[in-house]
Amino acid sequence: MACFRRLLPLCSSINRTTFSSSGSGVVQGFRSYGGIASPEQTLLKLEDAETRAGADTLVLDDEIAQIGREFHAAKQSFLRVPEALKAMPKMNPEGIYVNKNLRLDSIQVYGFDYDYTLAHYSSNLQSLIYDLAKEHMVNEFHYPEICMEFKYDPTFPIRGLYYDKLKGCLLKLDFFGSIESDGCYYGRRKLSRKEIEEIYGTRHIGRDQARRLVGLMDFFCFSEACLIADIVQYFVDAKLEFDACYIYQDVNRAIQHVHRSGVAHRGILSDPHKYLVKNGQLLHFLKMLREKGKKLFLLTNSPYYFVDGGMRFMLEDSTDFRDSWRELFDVVIAKANKPDFYTSEHPFRCYDAEKDTLAFTKVDAFLPNKIYYHGCLKSFLQITKWKGPEVIYFGDHLFSDLRGPAKAGWRTAAIIHELEDEILIQNEDAYRLEQAKFHIVQELLGRVHATVANSQKSEAYTSLLEELNDWRHKSSHKMKRMFNKSFGATFLTDRGQESAFAYHIHQYADVYTSKPENFLLYPSEAWLHVPFDIKIMPHHVKVSSSLFKNE
Q: How confident is the model at residue 541 (pLDDT cuts 50, 70, 90)?
A: low
Please give the pLDDT value at position 535.
58
Strands (E), 126-243: 161-164, 169-173, 179-186, 189-190, 213-216
Among the ranges given (108-122, 416-430, 530-544), the one the predictor scored with the smallest mean pLDDT? 530-544
Rounded CA separation 489/513 (Å): 16
The mean per-residue pLDDT over the stretch 248-263 comes to 94
Q: Is 113 a known ligand-binding residue?
A: yes
Q: Is 115 a known ligand-binding residue?
A: yes
Q: Which fold has domain 109-121+275-385?
A: Rossmann fold (3.40.50)
Active-site entry in 61, 113, 230, 323? 113
Q: What is the pLDDT of residues 196-209, one digit of tens each?
A: 999 998 888 887 88
Q: How confident is the model at residue 29 (pLDDT cuts 50, 70, 90)?
A: very low
Query: pTM for the full model?
Result: 0.82
Using the predicted structure, report yes or no on whether residue 225 has a pLDDT greater than 60: yes
Using the predicted structure, report yes or no on whether residue 90 has a pLDDT greater than 80: yes
The mean per-residue pLDDT over the stretch 183-211 comes to 90
81 to 86, 181, 372, 422, 546: CA distances (angstroms) = 9, 29, 58, 21, 11
The mean per-residue pLDDT over the stretch 336-348 comes to 94
Q: Output 176-180 pairs: Cβ under 8 A, ≥24 positions apart.
A: 176/204, 176/497, 177/204, 177/205, 177/210, 177/500, 178/203, 178/204, 178/205, 179/203, 179/204, 179/205, 180/487, 180/488, 180/493, 180/494, 180/495, 180/499
Active-site entry in 115, 174, 250, 494? 115
- Residue 227: how many other CB atoms lie within 10 Å: 26
Rounded CA separation 423/360 (Å): 50
Please give the pLDDT value at position 60.
66
CATH 3.40.50.1000 residue window(s) in the chain: 109-121+275-385
Q: How confident is the model at residue 81 (pLDDT cuts 50, 70, 90)?
A: low
Q: What is the pLDDT of residues 291-334, one digit of tens each?
A: 999 999 999 999 999 999 999 998 887 756 556 889 999 999 99
Q: How confident is the model at residue 92 (pLDDT cuts 50, 70, 90)?
A: very high
Please give the pLDDT value at position 10.
35
The mean per-residue pLDDT over the stretch 332-345 comes to 94
The mean per-residue pLDDT over the stretch 249-259 comes to 95
Let me know if 243 is a catalytic residue.
no
Q: Is 149 or 80 the better-scoring residue by pLDDT?
A: 149
Using the predicted structure, report yes or no on whether residue 8 has a pLDDT greater than 50: no
Residue 412 β-bridge partners = 393
Using the predicted structure, report yes or no on whether residue 72 has a pLDDT greater than 90: no
Q: What is the mean pLDDT of the chain?
A: 84
Q: How confident is the model at residue 127 (pLDDT cuts 50, 70, 90)?
A: very high
The mean per-residue pLDDT over the stretch 395-420 comes to 91
Let me know if 115 is a catalytic residue.
yes
Using the predicted structure, report yes or no on whether residue 12 has a pLDDT greater than 60: no
Q: What is the pLDDT of residues 472-523, one digit of tens each?
A: 889 889 999 999 999 999 998 887 788 999 989 988 999 999 999 999 999 9
The mean per-residue pLDDT over the stretch 368-389 comes to 93
Q: Is 352 a known ligand-binding residue?
A: no
